[in-house]
Structure 1
């Protein structure tokens, strides 16, 4: 009798254990964990709302980082990320492939601008001809993000170096990069609060973020904005050394037109759901339409070296994909 009772207790316990494990597994598959660039905070919020309208049972968790810091988060995190969305596809190439991801896809473009408010010093004067002089004035404070943590910081350096070359203003880049270094922040969106509180006057920031936040911005010429693919040879004439993915490692980054990229890391625990979200982002009438409304155009010309690694379920031709 006792043996029979013990037998049924064990069977019932096993049943409960299996049921709980199934419930946890099912629950995990309904959670989508996204790590994304700071400049994508509002777009990812809008994309998530629209995606959940089609998939109401899905729970979406998001974290905003400078893209390089976000990539390190993907590498180090105990809870695996399902989708990583970077402001620069090269962050995925340089830091995640091949150990932590095997492919990426382009999904948006952008351009750099100089952003300010109506209370910024010389706000009524700044233009494409005098911005270099204004930023160098001792009573003007400007901010930029950290190039070791954020692509916007890298691109800010590129724009400053290109301006020196374009206008033949020798020494300008070094002088401006040495100025106001206490206003460097981990990601570009960290600077917005400083700008809005009038602690600084100008920031180097993506045009899309300025539009989304209703900020004033100076549109830079194509030769400086990093927004024209036809000028990639010119953009690549400047470079910067930044930290790599491993301690003590450095990489050389060259200027190029802006391309945002996304991937599904190897450690994703919701692969199918992640693929579904990626397809939503790449769909011209869904994710791409949302991004365009928020100031980011789709990528129209891109050759992907990792085309053979793309999951079968990813409809990659939606986002400017071109085979080799």
Structure 2
């Protein structure tokens, strides 16, 4: 008889447990790796306000995030990328109807206190130091991560500004074995001394307490007033597939966010997106991620009903 009660009790516990799991609301977010730190904080704050909701974060290079939707057909409720133009070019109108610009950034060079020549690198000699035989630097793959193609554009702008023929190609030819799918994967290489420097976003470098070499506005892709100058350097990268190449030209950095059509929880996604674009802005700023006033991309084909409430 006791055995029967135990069996019945365990069965009830299992039923209650599985029922709770079924009732938990999930919001799936694909996001640029550079947003990992602030998004974890935003997700935690949102979950605290909405018990029973789980925000599942999946970080990768922005192009990889998009291909998970367009090629692999993975369900995604919210997509946040480090280059708003990728949503315009690759997601609208087939996979989403709108794109909201919400954050900025700038390119910089990060290093550790023990990095070779770290005590001598400067705004005027960084290119010379990176080309030295005893120095190694890392960058992300331009076909997966906007940081990668932005690094190539920074190098091209530096070549034009400094009038050093072949500088961009010389830098691109060097240390190719230290190219990684996303910029955050370079951090362990830097921490272990495998490489001495990395090209990445200033927000990520600051979040990980690295030493930062600030590049001038003329090449760091941060100043919208210099967009014509930035656009003088372009590069080609894989689009939604390797067969579809797209051209990326220099432009001041702006992040974009949207709600893909294949999401399983459009209502929850909408609420989370509104939270991120209002309360979440302070969290982004507190983690070194510059924000801008949310604005719809001109390529958007729909204005969300709630949009006016976040811009007033």
CA distance in 2, matches of 1:75, 1:88: 17
C-alpha separation between the residues in 2 aligned to 1:195 and 1:119?
Answer: 10
The list of structure 1 runs, each at least 4 consecutive aligned residues, that deviate by more than 3 angstroms after superposition, is 26-29, 76-79, 300-303, 314-319
How many Å separate the matches in 1 of 2:103 and 2:173?
31
SS where residue 244 of structure 1 aligns? strand
> For residues 46 and 276 of structure 2, what CA distance do their matches in structure 1 show?
9
CA distance in 2, matches of 1:317, 1:99: 25
Q: Between Structure 1 and Structure 2, how many residues are aligned?
A: 295
- Aligned match of 2:236: 241
CA deviation after TM superposition for structure 1 residue 29, in Å: 7.5
Shift of residue 203 of structure 1?
0.4
| Residue 138 in structure 1 maps to residue 137 in structure 2 | no
Aligned to 1:262: 257
Q: Which moved more, 1:252-261 or 1:289-298?
A: 289-298
Q: Given the alignment of the two structures, is residue 38 of structure 1 paired with residue 36 of structure 2, yes or no?
A: no
Residue of structure 2 in register with 1:100 after alignment: 95
TM, length-normalised to structure 1: 0.86
Over 3 Å counting, the alpha-carbon distance change for 1:81 and 1:302 in structure 2 is closer
Asked if the contact 1:89/1:261 (under 8 Å) is kept, the reply is yes
Q: For residue 215 of structure 1, what is the aligned residue in structure 2?
A: 210
SS at match of 1:119: coil
- Equivalent in the alignment of 1:5: none
2:290 is equivalent to residue 297 of structure 1: yes
Question: For the residues of structure 1 that align with 2:128 and 2:293, how far apart are their CA atoms?
Answer: 36
| 2:227 maps to 1:232 | yes
Q: Where does residue 85 of structure 1 map in the other structure?
A: 80
Contact 2:100 2:258 in 1 (8 A): yes
Matched residue, 2:181: 186
2:101 and 2:294 in contact (8 A); partners too: no
- Indicate the residue corresponding to 1:8 in structure 2: none
Cα RMSD of the aligned pairs, angstroms, is 2.0
C-alpha separation in 2, matches of 1:191 and 1:240: 22
- Residues 110, 258 of structure 1: 8 Å contact kept: yes
Per the alignment, do residues 123 and 247 of structure 1 end up closer, same or farther by CA in structure 2, a change over 3 Å counting? closer
Which range moves more in the overlay, 76-85 or 182-191? Answer: 76-85
Partner of 1:275: 270
Partner of 1:49: 44
1:56-114 CA-to-partner distances (Å, cap 9, x unmatched) read 21011111100001110122445511001101111212222221112110111100100
Task: Note closer, same or farther for the CA distance 1:123–1:88 as it changes in structure 2 (3 Å cut).
Answer: same
Aligned equivalents of 1:27 and 1:272: distance in 2? 17
- 1:161-172 matches, cutoff 5 A: 161-172=156-167
Q: Indicate how the Cα distance of structure 1 residues 27 and 316 shifts in structure 2: closer, same or farther if over 3 A, else same.
A: farther
Structure 2 unaligned residues grouped into runs of 5+: 1-14
1:107 and 1:299 in contact (8 A); partners too: yes
Q: Is the Cα–Cα contact under 8 Å of residues 108 and 200 in structure 2 kept in the other structure? A: yes
Q: Structure 1: which 5+ runs fail to align?
A: 1-19, 320-324
Distance 1:62 1:110 in 2: 21
The equivalent residue for 1:312 is: 305
Query: Structure 1 residues 100, 272: closer, same or farther in 2, change over 3 A?
Result: same
Q: Structure 1 residues 132 and 316 mapped into 2: Cα distance closer, same or farther (>3 Å)?
A: farther
In the alignment, the residues of structure 2 paired with residue 208 and residue 256 of structure 1 have an alpha-carbon distance, to the nearest angstrom, of 18
Secondary structure, aligned partner of 1:155: helix
Check conservation: 1:279, 1:315, Cα contact below 8 A. no
Q: Structure 1 residues 207 and 312 mapped into 2: Cα distance closer, same or farther (>3 Å)?
A: same
SS in 2 for 1:312: coil
Deviation of 1:223 (Å): 0.6
